[in-house]
Amino acid sequence: MMSLDNKPIYTGGCQCGAVRFRIEGALGEPSVCHCRMCQKAFGNFYAPLVSVRKAKLAWTRGEPKRFQSSNHVRRGFCGECGTPLTYEAPDGIALAIAAFDDPTGIAPAVQFGLEGKLPFVDGVHELPGMRTMDDVNAAAFLADLVSHQHPDHDTDQWPPQEQT
């Protein structure tokens, strides 16, 4: 999406919808960080992040809670659902790529923290795979699954009010 002055606009937020953001302007270079601190902060093999740089970041619903993970860095996350959201350092803020409503155009271009890279990460794409609904062992579980996750777009109200 583009603003009236032709600056790109990005939106996103946490899984439950308690924290939402909007960015107006060009993002910095997307990356993944393999350092142990990022692994723990994301509960994952690495942290996919993109810097905000000089773009305008606004919290449009709620604001992240923060944990001072080192003497230089704070990590922002949703205090309700725990979704990792930010890496905040003296040189600026980076946001979790998958927290964007449309992360498809934010492909990592560089890796950091290679000393912490887990030895199996490079082979993950070679593992056998299937689409979610093709998992016959989970078919009964998936058949009536109802997501309570916030949709990938801004909403006036969340959670939605129940119909009376």
Domain 9-143 fold is 2.170.150
User: Is the pTM here over 0.75, yes or no?
Assistant: yes
Confidence of residue 162 (pLDDT cuts 50, 70, 90): low
Rounded CA gap, 146 and 134, in Å? 18
Rounded CA gap, 88 and 78, in Å? 15
What pLDDT digit, counting tens, does each position of 94-109 carry? 999 999 999 999 999 9
Confidence of residue 163 (pLDDT cuts 50, 70, 90): low
Domain boundary assignment for the chain: 9-143
What pLDDT digit, counting tens, does each position of 56-71 carry? 999 999 999 999 999 9
What pLDDT digit, counting tens, does each position of 149-159 carry? 888 898 888 77
Helices marked H in the chain: 36-42, 139-143
Instruction: Provide the b/e sequence for 2-24 (b: ≥16 CB within 10 Å).
Output: eeeeeeeebbbbbbbbbbbbbbb
Q: What does DSSP say about strands 30-33 and 110-112: parallel, antiparallel, or unpaired?
A: parallel
Return the pLDDT at 100. Answer: 98
What pLDDT digit, counting tens, does each position of 26-52 carry? 999 999 999 999 999 999 999 999 999
For residues 138-153, give the mean pLDDT. Answer: 81
